[in-house]
Amino acid sequence: MLPFSRVAIIGLGLIGSSIARAVKATMPTVRVTGHDGDAGVRDRARDLGFADDVTDTPGAAVIDADLVILCVPVGAMGAVAQSIAADLPPEAIVSDVGSSKSSVLAALTAALPDNAIIPAHPVAGTENSGPDAGFATLFNGRWCIVTPPEGADETAIARICEFWKRLGADVETMDAKHHDLVLAVTSHLPHLIAYTIVGTASDMEEVTQSEVIKFSAGGFRDFTRIAASDPTMWRDVFLSNKDAVLEMLQRFSEDLTALQRAIRWGDGDALFELFSRTRAIRRSIIEQGQDDSRPDFGREH
Ligand code: NAP
């Protein structure tokens, strides 16, 4: 039996439109309604046709839904939840896809009536945004982390987990605080480092902008992909996951200082030992099917 029959998606960008497409591909009888705050995005979503109905107001999208998924930047979750509260059917389960979970859970809990709230985070995405960037297979073989609040209804949790499995994801549950710490190190800190490196390179006076672009085939190019990620989304991630990111950043700065010392004192053994450990981590990621094993991420040369 399908876990839901009427899914409403608020925010029709990369993630929202990918969910709509994946629902249509894997559960074609499910009715999908959608709304986006941006009239241009709504028009484009209607043209692309991944939802049965794209409504002009958030309330109209959720009015007969049994699952509502908020797919807007994390800083907008509270306001969007408020905008649907009056029209939400009491039995509808509300979920979201935000990249940080503790602050989103607090915002949804404050804004919504007594609906079951089961947040989730599909750990899948690209550096592109908007309704054209989405695709039905985005979640295939990727993790979706479900972060139910304490005491959440077990049936509601099971239905959300089943929904994500049907979209192709592997599902794991954990509490929101632990999620935020794990993602701070696996996702948020790497983005911060990429933003810093690309920013530093573009600010350097001794190296011209054109040289940075021309000779970018070294490691720099891969940082630029991450640093091209959506500015609104990532501003909100850092503001909403402040504590965990600052904790990880502190540890990172200490490790960076240790590396600085190893380079200064010519401690090749320390460098070699670390680089061997990191190479093994890359191998494990490939072995677990979380990345492409071909050299240079399978790029054509
Ligand atoms: P996106 O492509 O920019 O889509 C977000 C959409 O939400 C945009 O169309 C945006 O419209 C709309 N929106 C913003 N505020 C709104 C509001 N108050 N009411 C209604 N619509 C509103 O972003 P995304 O990558 O799909 O990210 C959506 C969520 O998924 C975020 O919470 C993010 O943390 C999470 N997430 C992202 C990734 C990723 O890799 N991108 C992965 C996992 C989870 P305008 O911008 O045109 O105003």
Which of the two residues, 173 and 216, has the higher pLDDT score?
173
Q: Whole-angstrom Cα distance, residue 139 to residue 167? A: 6
- pLDDT category of residue 202 using cuts at 50, 70 and 90: confident
Give the whole-number percent of the chain exceeding pLDDT 90.
84
On whether residue 188 sits in a domain, the answer given is yes
Q: Are residues 20 and 153 in the same domain?
A: yes
Per-residue pLDDT averaged across 256-268, rounded?
97
- CATH number, domain of 47, equals 3.40.50.720
Q: Are residues 170 and 202 in the same domain?
A: no
Q: Are residues 118 and 254 in the same domain?
A: no
Helix/strand/coil for 69: strand
- pLDDT category of residue 289 using cuts at 50, 70 and 90: confident
Q: Whole-angstrom Cα distance, residue 176 to residue 76? A: 18
Q: Are residues 81 and 101 in the same domain?
A: yes
pLDDT of 294 reads: 84
On whether residue 159 sits in a domain, the answer given is yes
Query: What one-character DSSP code corresponds to residue 149?
Result: P
Contacts of 217 (CB under 8 A, 6+ apart): none
Which residue among 9, 12, 14, 100 is best mutated to probe the pocket of ligand 1, counting the most ligand atoms within 8 A of its Cβ?
14
Q: Are residues 114 and 226 in the same domain?
A: no
Residue 203 has pLDDT above 90, yes or no: no
- DSSP assignment string, 86-148: TT--TT-EEEE--S--HHHHHHHHHHS-S--B--EEE----S--SGGG--TTTTTT-EEEE-P
Residue 209 has pLDDT above 80, yes or no: no
On whether residue 217 sits in a domain, the answer given is yes
Q: Whole-angstrom Cα distance, residue 211 to residue 217? A: 11
- pLDDT category of residue 293 using cuts at 50, 70 and 90: confident
- In short, whether 69's Cβ falls inside 6 Å of ligand 1 is no
- 172 DSSP β-pair partners: 145
On whether residue 250 sits in a domain, the answer given is yes
- In short, whether 97's Cβ falls inside 6 Å of ligand 1 is yes
Segment 35-72, tens digit of pLDDT: 999 999 999 999 999 999 999 999 999 999 999 999 99
Q: Are residues 188 and 97 in the same domain?
A: no
Per-residue pLDDT averaged across 181-200, rounded?
94
- pLDDT category of residue 153 using cuts at 50, 70 and 90: very high
- In short, whether 78's Cβ falls inside 6 Å of ligand 1 is no
- Quick count: other Cβ atoms within 10 Å of Cβ 250? 9
Q: Whole-angstrom Cα distance, residue 171 to residue 161? A: 6
Q: Which two tokens stand for residue 211?
A: 């040289």
On whether residue 300 sits in a domain, the answer given is no
- CATH number, domain of 256, equals 1.10.3660.10
Give the whole-number percent of the chain exceeding pLDDT 70.
100
Tell me phi and psi for residue 117, to 5 degrees.
Answer: -115, 115
pLDDT of 212 reads: 80
pLDDT of 108 reads: 98
**What average pLDDT does the chain have?**
95
On whether residue 273 sits in a domain, the answer given is no
pLDDT of 104 reads: 97
Q: Are residues 169 and 37 in the same domain?
A: yes
Number of structural domains found in the chain: 2
In which domain, by residue range, is 39 found?
A: 6-174
How remote is the CA of residue 11 from the centroid of ligand 1, in Å? 6
